[in-house]
Structure 1
Amino acid sequence: MTSVCCFQLKVNPTSSISKPQTHLRFNPSTFALPSSSYSKSGEPQPLYSSVKSFAPATVANLGPGFDFLGCAVDGIGDYVNLRIDPEVHPGEVSISHISGAGSKLSKNPLWNCAGIAAIAVMKMLKVRSVGLSLSLEKGLPLGSGLGSSAASAAAAAVAVNELFGGPLSTSELVIAGLESEAKVSGYHADNVAPSILGGFVLIRSYDPLELMQLKFPHDKNLFFVLVNPEFEAPTKKMRAALPPEITMSHHVWNSSQAGALVASVLQGDLNGLGKALSSDKIVEPRRAPLIPGMGAVKKAAIEAGAFGCTISGAGPTAVAVTDNEERGREIGERMVEAFMKEGNLKALAMVKQLDRVGARLVSSVPR
């Protein structure tokens, strides 16, 4: 049995970080948001002195779903450690430490995706009595096409929310994550929404923001083969490569492929999912030439038995799908070889499953 969860959030795309919009517009015929456990006019009290959260990596676009489809990937992502810090001014956030792949990131919370999201949640909760200190463990490489900034934002938003007992719904946390994405990589939710919600997510509308969770059947196996080459593909550069206009025939084709992809997800049809994943005629043809060897990598994946292959997000990571973990490793080996042979790039392959949970608390210390 397939199912779709849908909810609407009213968001102003031009809202600033200093004034996050948290007004929600409900659609009773689709999905009822969980009620908040605190009064919007009051300030919740922290339940913990410190918490640790995790948010998974994501694969955005999924071929023809540019800026409106994404999914979460299990086993890799970012961690945030958050604690009440009497040395931080009440109502403010300080970033004390960044480790892992994020050593080059700013510790200024106004310019760091984790800091921006944390501040947005604090303002939603109207926290004024305590200051918070945050440390970020980057498990995702920067500019990899795996939703690195979104994972940091998601982990931070969840950490702040959970420190105060989890009064905000996941939908409100997506708004906080979007505040961060809008600042650092652009106003798009196809990474941050699945990182927070888990599974597959379709962004039906941005104004107002409307998200739909697509339930992939639990009895079906789905493995992502993620191959990340040693190559930088900045999101801004990759977005600049996109065509300003498209033909009607390409619009019709991509729309049909995106529809087929959604249907395949709901039905657990890996063959159909892979076929649609590989069929983008608008974005991938412009971006693939900018990633050395990508064309050969895609061909190698499919010849090795993958159901489909495309660029993950803005790249340079290539993603292929299969229903068997061992075959996934073999596919990954062939993709790594193709990156080296045709693109002269070293690459690392991983085989991961779908993350159905999304960002979550992993530990806490009571006050």
Structure 2
Amino acid sequence: MRAPSTSANLGSGFDVVAVAHDAYFAEAYVKLTSGCGVDIKFRGFDPGGDNTVRRAFQHLFERLGRCWGVEAEVDNRIPIARGLGSSGASAVAALAAFIREAGLRVDPAAVVEAAGLGEAAAAGSPHFDNVAAAALGGAVVIASVKPLELVKFSPRLTFVVGVPDVPPMPEKTKVMRSVLPREVPFRTYVAQLARVSALVAGFARSDPRLVALGMSDEVVEPARAPHVPAYARVRRYALEAGALAVAISGAGPSMIALVEDRDSGAVRAAVERAYAEEGLRAEVKVASTAEGALKDL
């Protein structure tokens, strides 16, 4: 089973919004065995014994009240530690493969919850935005965490995703959260509510112009921008080339630009040029919103 790469936040939607796109994917294969427990093999990058996939299985088994014997192989082709949901997609792909192999019917929210709790292995605490998008596809809003309530939209959106080739930031999630403001003026709070509302309305109406309004952010993004390589140049060049909006993908360092189809080539070239002028190698892709791993289950 495959799970797509994802971009969380999209500007104003910090911790509550994510989109699935077809820039990259993680794939998992599962075989049921006798006994109880999960044996996991990773192709390429190996996150170690305590990983999101293992924890996700543990949480799902607890939720289902039963343990299975599982052999899982994970082929994660999403760049690691780049703000593209690689760890969550691995867990979602593996859980989806297990559910299909076992012939189970499982509430999608239970899968998202298990994978989100498993994210603590990579991020230090549970996170549900990326895994929700990887599981359900399209654009997902986390309406509530306790209890977990998810709202999925299926907009048709086109993006340009820029992935710089830079060394991983040590304790990236911790650092990128530590720089966030602890409080904001009331007028900023109201403006941010308007932006998030525009983001959700844009998803519901599949309206890139509304989504672009929602991708503007004056709370999280300004605090994180100094820690994202080439942020200012990439953003400026992309907008000058016709991008509707530009944001940090998750906690970075990747960036995501919302574009009209007709402008995707020009924006991609502009982002490539921006990274090159900063002396950075980067992979830049045109991507569209994608289906989630649970679409056929």
TM-score interval, smaller chain: over 0.9
Equivalent position SS for 2:14:
coil
Any conservation in 2 of the 1:68–1:202 contact (CA below 8 Å)?
A: yes
Aligned to 2:144: 205
Q: Distance in 1 between matches of 2:104 and 2:286?
A: 32
Q: How big is each residue's C-alpha offset from its partner over 1:270-303, in whole Å with a ceiling of 9 and x where there is no partner?
A: 12212321x1001100111111220111111111
Aligned to 2:70: 132
Task: Give the Å deviation of 1:161.
Answer: 1.6
User: TM-score normalised to the size of structure 2?
Assistant: 0.92
**Correspondence 1:331 to 2:256:** no
Q: Distance in 2 between matches of 1:67 and 1:98?
A: 28
Any conservation in 2 of the 1:224–1:353 contact (CA below 8 Å)?
A: yes
1:358 is matched by which residue type in structure 2?
G
Q: Distance in 2 between matches of 1:292 and 1:182?
A: 26
Aligned to 2:157: 222
**Correspondence 1:70 to 2:70:** no
Any conservation in 2 of the 1:122–1:160 contact (CA below 8 Å)?
A: no
Q: Distance in 2 between matches of 1:264 and 1:125?
A: 36
Aligned to 1:320: 257
Equivalent position SS for 1:67:
strand
Equivalent position SS for 1:66:
strand
- In structure 2, relative to structure 1, the CA distance for the partners of 1:73 and 1:93 (3 Å cut) is same
Q: 2:292 aligns with which of 358, 363, 366?
A: 358
Alignment of 1:108-187 (within 5 A): 108=49, 111-128=50-67, 130-185=68-123, 186-187=125-126
Q: Distance in 2 between matches of 1:126 and 1:263?
A: 38
Task: Give the Å deviation of 1:119.
Answer: 2.5
Any conservation in 2 of the 1:113–1:149 contact (CA below 8 Å)?
A: yes
Q: Which runs of 5+ in 1 are unaligned?
A: 1-52, 363-367
Aligned to 2:42: 98
Any conservation in 2 of the 1:115–1:156 contact (CA below 8 Å)?
A: no
Task: Give the Å deviation of 1:346.
Answer: 1.2
Task: Give the Å deviation of 1:142.
Answer: 1.2
Q: How big is each residue's C-alpha offset from its partner over 1:80-134, in whole Å with a ceiling of 9 and x where there is no partner?
A: 1111245xxx110011x2113x24x10x2xx111111123223333444x52111
**Correspondence 1:310 to 2:254:** no
Equivalent position SS for 2:129:
coil
1:99 is matched by which residue type in structure 2?
R
Q: How big is each residue's C-alpha offset from its partner over 1:129-148, in whole Å with a ceiling of 9 and x where there is no partner?
A: x5211111011111111111
Any conservation in 2 of the 1:162–1:361 contact (CA below 8 Å)?
A: no
**Correspondence 1:282 to 2:219:** yes
Q: Distance in 2 between matches of 1:152 and 1:161?
A: 14
Any conservation in 1 of the 2:115–2:131 contact (CA below 8 Å)?
A: yes
Q: How big is each residue's C-alpha offset from its partner over 1:314-347, in whole Å with a ceiling of 9 and x where there is no partner?
A: 01111001121x6313211211211231x32211
Q: Distance in 2 between matches of 1:339 and 1:60?
A: 22
Q: Distance in 1 between matches of 2:272 and 2:212?
A: 19
Q: Distance in 2 between matches of 1:236 and 1:260?
A: 29
Aligned to 1:37: none
Aligned to 2:229: 292
1:327 is matched by which residue type in structure 2?
D
Over aligned residues, Cα RMSD in angstroms?
Answer: 1.8
Bigger proportion of residues as helix: 2
Q: Distance in 2 between matches of 1:249 and 1:339?
A: 35
Identity %: 33
**Correspondence 1:340 to 2:279:** no
Equivalent position SS for 1:145:
coil
Q: How big is each residue's C-alpha offset from its partner over 1:45-68, in whole Å with a ceiling of 9 and x where there is no partner?
A: xxxxxxxx1111111001000001
CA radius of gyration, larger in: 1
Aligned to 2:193: 255
Any conservation in 2 of the 1:118–1:160 contact (CA below 8 Å)?
A: no
Aligned to 1:22: none
